[in-house]
Structure 1
Amino acid sequence: MIGNLPSIRVIARTGFVCLKEGLSICFYVRHSHEDMASVMLQALELYLKAIGRQALTYSPDDEGYWQRLDVPAMEYTQKQLQRGYTHVLLKDSIGDIGDYQFQYQDVDLESPVNIYGPSERLAYAFSFRFPASRLQSQGIGPFRDLALALAKLLPFSSGHAGPSFHAWAMEDLTQQMFQLGLRYPGMDIPDEHNNAYTVGDQLDGVHWMNFIGQPVLGAVGGTEALRARLTHPGTSVESLGEDRALITLGAEPDAGDTAEGRGLPAYRELARVLEPWLTSREAARPYRENEALLRWERRFLE
């Protein structure tokens, strides 16, 4: 147990850790394509400044095989963008999950349709992962500060930060994560690549830190309306300008534990307020068994 987070370890037959607890930050952006490359590089720069410039050392090649970078991560990413790449994935390890990961998923917002449906479901996805051990060594302050710095940089429609499960081969562990997610409802199950094709300008769930942009903030009545409706002790609602807000559920992230009766009532209150604007990942999983996914997505609503 680290703070209010469980200690999770699933070990593969190879001996490597394939599932564990961690922290993540994710933002979804619906903006002009021309701005995204430069903004993404600035976001990566902020992340590397926080974790160390030599932390990210691996990326998949053109055929999907992981390769060790022979240049710094920033230089490598700039070259990939010049080659026309629309997906950037950088990690600190290829044996097991590792501690750090950066992912950028580009999408074609101008296309009338995509393989999952209408273009209004699309959004650029930016995600950043950390080990839960940072809570012990640094406290939550630097993590929260980085999330706020990224929010200031990115013209987001939505975003979030908090505890999450990190898995090496997500599809192989999906059902196990959904079961763990029902027990520890404050833990996210990241799936940024697929979410980029389904979230659009809506919200992908309730988290410790919830960044709300347009059009959802306007639809819910604005920052003051949110502040009036969210009355649970410890919930804070901050204005991030005229068209964006941050809702934080408690001073520290909390995974909860339904086995111990810790169902996170503040999260339930926020979920009820935001329910009309919560999306489902089911559209990105049309040929899979989605009952467990839907149960997990509605864990704060039932």
Structure 2
Amino acid sequence: MNRPPPRIRLRKPNGVPIARDALSINLYMRHPHREVAPALLRSIDRYRRALGSDVLSDYSFEGCGWDELDDSGWERLRREVLESPGPILELMDTTSGEQRFRLDYFGSYGALIGPPTEGPTTVCAVSFWLPTEYLEEHGPGHVRELALELAAPLPFCSGHAGLAFNTGQDLLYAKPELRKLLFLHPGMDAPRLDTLALHLGAKVRTPSWLTFLGQPVLGELGGASGLRARLHSPDITVQEMESERVVVTCGPEPEAGEDGRMPPAYRELARVLEPWLFHEQYLIDSTLTADELRRWERRLLD
């Protein structure tokens, strides 16, 4: 990599980690969980093969405590994924104490969302997490190929992969020093998967190093050829995938941004996607103003 990601290691006074730099791969599916479940298991298997079968040590189903992911734990997890109408899953590496590897999934809450329409906003949402050390060791080309392999089985309507803050808290509503880093490095995301699973719908979460686009947004852009015609930066490539989907890549490696600035390719993609970008409607914490939220959401536009 030409420029290593910023090193972020924030801890509480007692040593418990608050946030660290990471890379997240996020995909959103406007289909009922039962249609997504078999593909989700294939993506989870690919994640395990890439990282090692033992890297995820524990899991939580519907927030009901933690179970060990031994052989019987994996069998239990598979049954629950296939049989539940809309599960909430957390898989993580607890051995390092930093949750360097994570997988989060929110099903569609059992909603009968059907095929993409302008109606319900619930989606099935999944995040695959990697530490930046993995990115530095294996290189961005390997990570990009892994992201495409994880995405390929899933019937995504949109998605994104890039640098992010790995934190167990809602970063946008957390301590001031975290929000300062958020605005300092606009290429680092803070995905709130629970909110997105309820409200994202057909919108696009954010442009990123890798931006995955499916239907209906890609069709409204005129397909892969129509999207290419709108993008002129030599640092942007549009690669077609099966089932009328594409991945848009901004540059050879993910960028964190410095002093609130990002490379021009990110801003160009953001301007093209602006009519479809997601805007959060609900403020949970009064310490974050609506203006702060909008400024962060438009960090690649303004």
Q: Does TM, scored on the shorter chain, surpass 0.5? A: yes
Corresponding position of 1:276: 275
Give the C-alpha shift of residue 23 in structure 1: 0.6
Matches within 5 A, 1:5-84: 5-60=5-60, 64-71=64-71, 74-81=74-81, 84=84
Cα distance change on mapping 1:144 and 1:74 into 2, 3 Å: farther
Instruction: Give unpaired runs (5+ residues) of structure 1.
Output: 113-117
Give the C-alpha shift of residue 266 in structure 1: 1.1
- Matched residue SS, 1:206: coil
Give the C-alpha shift of residue 27 in structure 1: 0.5
Q: Does 1:298 align with 2:301?
A: no
Q: Assess if the C-alpha contact under 8 Å between 2:58 and 2:94 holds in 1.
A: yes
Give the C-alpha shift of residue 241 in structure 1: 3.9
Deviations 1:15-60 (A, max 9, x none): 1322011111010001244322212111111111111111111223
Corresponding position of 2:204: 203
Q: Does 1:229 align with 2:236?
A: no
Deviations 1:79-135 (A, max 9, x none): 4336636111111018843210011111134169xxxxx962111001100000012
Deviations 1:3-24 (A, max 9, x none): 3411111111221322011111
Give the fraction of aligned pairs with identical amino acids, expressed as a percent: 34
Cα distance change on mapping 1:94 and 1:277 into 2, 3 Å: farther
- Matched residue SS, 2:275: helix
- Matched residue SS, 1:50: helix
CA distance in 2, matches of 1:160, 1:97: 23
Q: Assess if the C-alpha contact under 8 Å between 2:61 and 2:89 holds in 1.
A: no
Give the letter for the 1:130 counterpart: L
Give the letter for the 1:192 counterpart: L
Give the letter for the 1:297 counterpart: E
Cα distance change on mapping 1:62 and 1:120 into 2, 3 Å: closer
Cα distance change on mapping 1:101 and 1:73 into 2, 3 Å: farther
Corresponding position of 1:250: 251
Corresponding position of 1:110: 112
TM-score, with length taken from structure 1: 0.88
Instruction: Give unpaired runs (5+ residues) of structure 2.
Output: none
Cα distance change on mapping 1:204 and 1:232 into 2, 3 Å: same
Matches within 5 A, 1:61-210: 64-71=64-71, 74-81=74-81, 84=84, 86-93=87-94, 96-107=97-108, 108-110=110-112, 120-170=120-170, 173=174, 175-210=176-211
Give the letter for the 1:263 counterpart: M
Cα distance change on mapping 1:300 and 1:64 into 2, 3 Å: same
- Matched residue SS, 1:196: helix
CA distance in 1, matches of 2:199, 2:168: 22
Q: Assess if the C-alpha contact under 8 Å between 2:61 and 2:90 holds in 1.
A: no
Cα distance change on mapping 1:9 and 1:144 into 2, 3 Å: same
Give the C-alpha shift of residue 249 in structure 1: 0.4
CA distance in 1, matches of 2:73, 2:13: 31
CA distance in 2, matches of 1:119, 1:300: 28
Deviates more, 1:55-64 or 1:85-94: 55-64
Q: Assess if the C-alpha contact under 8 Å between 1:121 and 1:199 holds in 2.
A: yes
- Matched residue SS, 1:185: coil
Deviates more, 1:73-82 or 1:218-227: 73-82
TM-score, with length taken from structure 2: 0.88
CA distance in 2, matches of 1:152, 1:59: 24
Give the C-alpha shift of residue 176 in structure 1: 4.0
> How many residue pairs align between the two structures?
294
CA distance in 2, matches of 1:51, 1:72: 20
